[in-house]
Amino acid sequence: MWDYSDKVKDHFFNPRNVGEISNPDAWAEVGSLACGDALKLMLRIGADGRIIDAKFKTFGCGSAIASSSALTEMIIGKTVEEASKVSNQDIAEFLDGLPEEKMHCSVMGMEALEKALARYRGERVPEDDEEEGYRIVCHCFGVTDAKIKRVVRENRLTKAEQVTYYSKAGGGCGSCIPEIEDLIAEVWQEEGMSEEPVKAAKPAKMTNIEKMKLIMQTIDEEIRPTLQKDGGDIELIDIDGSNVLVSLRGNCASCKVAEFTLSLFVQQKLREMVSDDIVVEEVPE
C-alpha cells in the first residue's frame, strides 16, 4: 500500500520507550480512539530542565507507533527548550521519511510534545485555547480551523488532499472539503502568496458514461497498483451516480485500518481525479 523506510519498520516492530512513568513531570494525551489514532506521552524532567526519560502508549497504525517511538528517542537528553523546537517534519526525517498519507502521525507526536511541555510550564494547553474562538471544521475527526491553518502554514500545503494527510480533516464524509480549500487560500493570502495554486483542477463537466469510465480508469491506474504493492487489491462492484461500491481484497481485506484506506486514500484519490462528490462504500463479500 505504502512504501515504508527501514527505520519506520524498525520502530514499529521494535518500539522504544513503550510504557508509563509514575507521577510524570509532564504528560499529554492527543487524538482519540474514535478517530483511529491516540497517543499518551509522559516525560520525566530533571532539575536542570533536561528530559531524562520519556514513555508513550499509542493506539493506531504502524506509522503512529513508529512516530511515537521516534519522538521519545529524539527528545531524551534534550532540554525543554530544545525539545520544544522539534517539529513533525523533524520526526518524519528521523524516520527517513513517512508516506505523505501518514504525515498526520508525526503531527500527532508533535502536538503531544507541545501539550506536555505547555503543561510542564504551567501554560494553558492548546486544546484549552481551541475552545475559545476556534471552531470545528471537520466534525468527523474534530479538527478545528486553527489546526488546519497551522498544518497548511507549517508544511506548505496547497491542496485539501494534503490537509487530510496531515490532519485527517476531510477524510470522513468530505463535506468540509470546500471549507478546507477556503482556509488554504486564506493562509496563502495572509502569507502574501495568493497566487499559490491552492485548489486542484477538477475535470470538466462529464456525462454519466464519461464519469464511470474515469472512475474505472482511476481505480485501475492510480489506486489498484498502490494497494497491490502491499499485497492488497480492490474490486469495483458498482457505480451508482456518485456512490462507488468496492470490495477490498488480499491484505487490505483483513487490514485493521481498512476503513481509513477507503476514506483517506481510495475516496480522496477519486475525488481528486474525478469529482468532489464521490462517496466510496465497501460491499462485504
**CATH class of segment(s) 133-190:** mainly alpha
Q: Which residues are known catalytic residues?
A: 35, 105
Query: Is 6-126 assigned to CATH 3.90.1010.10?
Result: yes
Q: Same fold for the domain at 6-126 and the one at 133-190?
A: no
Residue with cell 481498512: 258
Indicate whether 173 pLDDT > 90. Answer: no
Top-confidence residue, 24 or 203: 24
Domain-wise residue ranges, the chain: 6-126, 133-190, 208-282
Confirm if 39 and 58 have CB atoms less than 8 A apart: yes
- Of all residues in the chain, the percent with pLDDT exceeding 70 is 88
Sort strands 243-250 and 26-32 into parallel, antiparallel or unpaired. Answer: unpaired
Q: Please check whether residue 66 is in contact with residue 15, taking contact to mean a CB–CB distance below 8 angstroms.
A: yes
Q: How far is CA 10 from CA 3, 15, 111, in A?
A: 14, 7, 23
pTM: 0.61
Residue-wise pLDDT tens digits, 60-110: 888 999 999 999 999 999 999 999 999 998 999 999 999 888 889 999 999
Q: Is the pLDDT of residue 56 over 80?
A: yes
- The CATH architecture that domain 208-282 belongs to is 2-Layer Sandwich (3.30)
CA distances from 268 to 48, 154, 198, 199, 263 (A): 47, 22, 16, 14, 7
